[in-house]
Amino acid sequence: MRLAQADPAPLRRHRLAQCHRDNAEALAAIVARHGWPHADLVGSPASTAAVMILLHSPDLGFRLRCRDLIARATADGHTPAIHFAYVADQCAVDLGQPQYYGTRISPRTLRPYPIRHPQSVDERRSDVGLGPLQEQLQALRITG
């Protein structure tokens, strides 16, 4: 991914897209066989890696199915709520709907995509283990 960002040549972007598709296909096979790979099944690092693969999957239908699996795993205490927050927001933005937690930020503006009930977003963020949105935006501006 870093190579593709450093050299955004068409071939490198194609390879990155193929890598995302391949990783998503492998994750889909795991999910079909075992359900969502939550931390109790595969450990925290692998479960977090699964979320990262899911977030880069080109298949919205697959992301939506996994969002629902992650919601159940979160409710059962098997998956950190922050995993659900990132996936739910990604799905909402991709569906053209307001996000809930403000985790999706426009790379062009460094502002969040529309947020449902923005006046209470920090309360929802706190519930899933995220800091205040303004702190995240400030950090992006400093490091961005």
Whether residue 83 has pLDDT greater than 70: yes
Mean pLDDT of the chain: 92
The model's pTM: 0.88
pLDDT score recorded for residue 75: 96
pLDDT score recorded for residue 55: 96
Whether residue 141 has pLDDT greater than 80: no
Domain ranges of the chain: 2-143
pLDDT score recorded for residue 1: 59
For every residue of 92-133, DSSP letters joined together read HHHTT--BSS---B-TTTSSBPPBSSGGGHHHHHHHTT---H
Predicted confidence band at 110 (pLDDT cuts at 50, 70, 90)? confident
pLDDT score recorded for residue 90: 97
Asked if 99 contacts 92 with a C-beta cutoff of 8 angstroms, the reply is yes
Question: Could you give the angle at the alpha carbon of 65 between the alpha carbons of 17 and 31, nearest 5°?
Answer: 75
Q: How many CB atoms lie within 10 A of CB 65?
A: 15
Question: What's the mean pLDDT in 83-93?
Answer: 98
Predicted confidence band at 26 (pLDDT cuts at 50, 70, 90)? very high
Predicted confidence band at 3 (pLDDT cuts at 50, 70, 90)? low
